């Protein structure tokens, strides 16, 4: 089974042929939403690029907003699979946090993610619902998965956290930092591997100093 079909299968049931069409629709949607924006992308264009009829697109996704949400969810699943949030209570927590940090930073600094985020911000006033849909499909789901990871680590005595929600938001905001802002604004030199590595390690170390058991 190809990766695209596997991702499509996690996003909805169906027969193999339906899954192939669903995967093609999702791939087309991700490409067009990234390059054309939400308003600039039509269901006709998605159907054409996917090689299916518009009726088929609507049979899988009732409207463009639901297709947008599905595309965001699947991008997150591709780059931050649920497995990385499974706490390995026998392994070092620093290694696990670094794995999550690398996956998250790679996701938010990808060209696709930056393009979609710019679209959301540009349409915030005209289409506030779009921003809410994006938040729930992407950032909120990721944050909740990380909170569940932190809870397991707290129960195992590896962390001491009073407010899991606050700790999760702090971790992801620290990871974004200046490097993500530079990427989003399109200013400064391209990020080097060394620069990213130093940033991620420093962030994880700071988080552990704040929440290590006293």
Q: Inform me whether the pLDDT recorded for 190 exceeds 90.
A: no
Residues 130 and 105 in one domain: yes
Question: Which residues form the domain of 18?
Answer: 3-73
Distances (CA, A) of 98 to 17, 85, 94, 169, 194: 38, 12, 6, 16, 15
Residues 110 and 56 in one domain: no
Residues 12 and 57 in one domain: yes
* Dist CA 186 CA 176 (whole Å): 15
Instruction: Name the phi and psi angles at 160, rounded to 5.
Output: -130, 100
* Dist CA 123 CA 129 (whole Å): 10
Q: How far is CA 213 from the centre of its chain?
A: 30
CATH number of the domain where residue 25 is located: 1.10.10.60
- Whole-prediction pTM: 0.82
Q: Inform me whether the pLDDT recorded for 14 exceeds 80.
A: no
- Name the band, by pLDDT with cuts 50, 70 and 90, for residue 3: very low
Mean pLDDT of all residues belonging to the chain = 88
Residues 93 and 17 in one domain: no
Residues 157 and 207 in one domain: yes
Query: How high is the pLDDT of residue 48?
Result: 96
């Amino acid at each position: 089974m190809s990766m695209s079909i596997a991702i499509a299968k996690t996003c909805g049931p169906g027969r193999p042929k339906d899954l192939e069409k669903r995967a093609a629709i999702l791939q087309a949607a991700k490409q067009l939403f990234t390059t054309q924006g939400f308003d600039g992308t039509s269901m006709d264009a998605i159907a054409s690029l996917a090689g299916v009829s518009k009726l088929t697109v609507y049979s899988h996704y009732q409207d463009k907003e639901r297709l947008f949400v599905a595309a965001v969810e699947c991008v997150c699943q591709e780059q931050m699979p649920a497995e990385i949030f499974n706490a390995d209570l026998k392994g070092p927590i620093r290694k696990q946090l670094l794995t999550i940090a690398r996956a998250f930073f790679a996701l938010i600094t990808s060209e696709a993610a930056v393009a979609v985020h710019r679209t959301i911000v540009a349409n915030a006033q005209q289409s506030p619902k779009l921003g809410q849909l994006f938040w729930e499909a992407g950032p909120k789901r990721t944050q909740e998965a990380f909170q569940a990871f932190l809870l397991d680590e707290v129960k195992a005595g590896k962390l001491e956290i009073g407010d899991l929600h606050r700790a999760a938001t702090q971790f992801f905001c620290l990871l974004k930092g200046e490097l993500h802002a530079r990427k989003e604004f399109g200013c400064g030199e391209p990020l080097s591997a060394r620069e990213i590595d130093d940033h991620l390690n420093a962030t994880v170390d700071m988080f552990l100093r704040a929440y290590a058991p006293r």
